[in-house]
Amino acid sequence: MYRRRDDRRGQMVADITRDLRRYSVEAQHIGHAFAGLHGLNATDLHALIAVMDAELLGDPITPGRLGEQLNLSSGSVTALIDRLERGGHIRRDRDTADRRKVFLHYADPGAALARSFFAPLGRRNDEVMARFSDEELEVVHRFMAEMVISMREHRDAIRAARGEPARRTAGTDPDNATR
Amino acid sequence: MYRRRDDRRGQMVADITRDLRRYSVEAQHIGHAFAGLHGLNATDLHALIAVMDAELLGDPITPGRLGEQLNLSSGSVTALIDRLERGGHIRRDRDTADRRKVFLHYADPGAALARSFFAPLGRRNDEVMARFSDEELEVVHRFMAEMVISMREHRDAIRAARGEPARRTAGTDPDNATR
DNA sequence: TCGAGTATCTTGATGGACGAGATTATCGAG
DNA sequence: CTCGATAATCTCGTCCATCAAGATACTCGA
């Protein structure tokens, strides 16, 4: 689209760029549509997924860390958690050691919702991937992993250019990040 | 994450799924951060890109079609265009044939902004892709193209489940769609 | 053990974006 | 030249994010 070259490889680069853009636009639309279908908004859905992820890893998330992941102010996070708790999706639990902290745990309705979001997507993933060999998938993985790294750097650069000092999220550390 | 298998291929599938999820999350963050940096919001940025895309294809977009692409109500679209026009990013032009219609054209500040969004991303893309052979990129392209198709189907399914009757956007037609 | 400093979450006020529905302008068919 | 359909706009209410301040709990040095 922007910068079009004539050689075959240049065309390929452009195609992939366009693929990626389309993919993320679709992903956003899907999240938005699914959320709306269940009376949530896009942020709520992201939060629900983050809470579930953390819980499945045995490392419950706190409002503070949730705010970092979603890039939300602390006040917004409280309101967000209020909404989700009111909807019965998650619940708050005070830490016994440090009573300032609140741990977020998902309640069953929330978990079911998250599963119903991912299950069909997973099926579709499987369908597509079935058409590729192990070696091909390996290439795809290598490519996507590198793209994600590059995107994260870019994200941090933009955030740094703003006022937020890059706001070291879990993304700064190499790869143990939940997502 | 969800459904983890032990064999190598299963692991690969899970990894790629995770890659894709991370990618779209990052893409969203980048859009949000960039928009905020320039006094816009995420919707405004998407709209600006859509307007530019259409214009570059020589087929200026109308508010109605823009609303379809962004999945916005007509009222929101009007407000959105007001904002962008006020900011000097785009301008409205009445169609001479059908005076109900309004064509959206980007003004220079808007174009510059869109370019300053894509240019660094393009550079990063190039860097990553330089590390892959033609054949490998071919595989990536094939994979992503299929994923996009699958995602679109899913999106339409969800929207159909809602109230909107799949709202035939440009996505229904095979591939000449801008995005 | 007291107190200043810090961390974590919450509250309240404000502004802005979005959606729903009514309204205005225009077009095409009979 | 009406009537219905279509495109955009306007109005209003709701909801969400941000900001600034506040409440509570921990930490550590004197």
B33-64 confidence digits (pLDDT tens): 888 888 888 899 999 989 988 888 888 999 99
A41 touches strand D (CB under 7 A): yes
Question: What SS3 class is residue B41?
Answer: coil
DSSP B70: H
Enumerate the nucleotides of strand C whose atoms come under 7 Å of any protein CB.
7-13, 16-22, 25-28
Is the C-beta of residue B76 closer than 7 Å to nucleic acid chain C? Answer: yes
Query: How high is the pLDDT of residue A165?
Result: 41
pLDDT of residue A162: 61
Q: Provide, in whole angstroms, the distance separating residue A100's CA from nucleotide D26's C1'.
A: 8
CA pair distance B52, B117, nearest whole angstrom = 12
pLDDT tier, A62 (very low <50, low <70, confident <90, very high otherwise): very high
Helix axis angle, A8-37 relative to B8-37, nearest 10°? 80
Segment B85-110 shows an average pLDDT of 89
Give B10's contacts in chain A (Cβ within 8 Å): none
Please give the pLDDT value at position A166: 39
Q: Which of A16, A41, A159 to mutate: most B Cβ within 10 Å?
A: A16
Distance between CA B166 and CA B128 in Å, rounded? Answer: 36
β-pairing verdict for A102-106 and A90-94: antiparallel
Instruction: Quickly state the pLDDT bin for B5 (edges 50, 70, 90).
Output: low
Give residue B169's pLDDT. 37
Asked if A113 and A89 count as a contact pair (C-beta separation under 8 A), the reply is yes
pLDDT digits (tens, 9 = 90+) for A104-115: 999 988 888 888
Per-residue confidence (pLDDT) for residue B162, from 0 to 100: 59
Distance, CA of B98 to C1' of D2, in Å: 20
Token couple for B173: 């037609």
pLDDT of residue A175: 37
- Strand-pairing partners, residue B102, are B94
pLDDT at res. B176? 39
- Residue B40, phi then psi, degrees to nearest 5: -115, 180
For A84-93, A104-113, A146-155, B168-177, which range has the lowest pLDDT when averaged over its residues?
Answer: B168-177
Higher-confidence residue: B72 or A140? Answer: A140
CA of B113 to C1' of C4 (A): 48
For B:6-65, CB contacts with A below 8 A are 8-9, 12-13, 15-30, 32-34, 36-37, 46, 53, 56
Residue with CA nearest to C27's C1' atom: B98
Indicate the pLDDT class of residue A179, thresholds 50, 70 and 90.
very low
CB-strand contact A72/D, under 7 Å: yes
pLDDT of A13: 93
Top pLDDT among A6 and A148 is at A148
A160 touches chain B (CB under 8 A): no
On average, the pLDDT of chain A sits at 85
pLDDT digits (tens, 9 = 90+) for A4-58: 556 888 999 999 999 999 999 889 889 988 898 888 999 999 999 999 989 988 9
How far apart (Å, rounded) are the C-alpha atoms in residues B122 and B130? 12
What percent of chain B has pLDDT above 70? 87
Closest residue (CA) to C1' of nucleotide C7 is A100
For position A121, what pLDDT does the model report? Answer: 92
Query: What is the model's pLDDT at position B6?
Result: 60
Which pLDDT band holds residue B115 (cuts at 50, 70, 90)? confident
Residues of chain A with C-beta less than 8 angstroms from the C-beta of B13: 125-126, 129, 137
Mean pLDDT of chain B, nearest integer: 84
Give the predicted TM-score (pTM) of the model.
0.83
Query: What is the pLDDT at residue A6?
Result: 60
In this structure, are residues A60 and A97 in contact, taking their beta carbons and an 8 Å threshold? no
Cβ–Cβ contact A3 with B under 8 A: yes
Percent of chain B with pLDDT over 90: 45
Percent of chain A clearing pLDDT 70 (strictly above): 87
Q: Which chain B residues are within 8 Å of A76, Cβ to Cβ?
A: none
Pure H helices in A5-87: 8-37, 42-56, 63-70, 74-86
Q: What pLDDT band is residue B164 in, cutting at 50, 70 and 90? A: very low
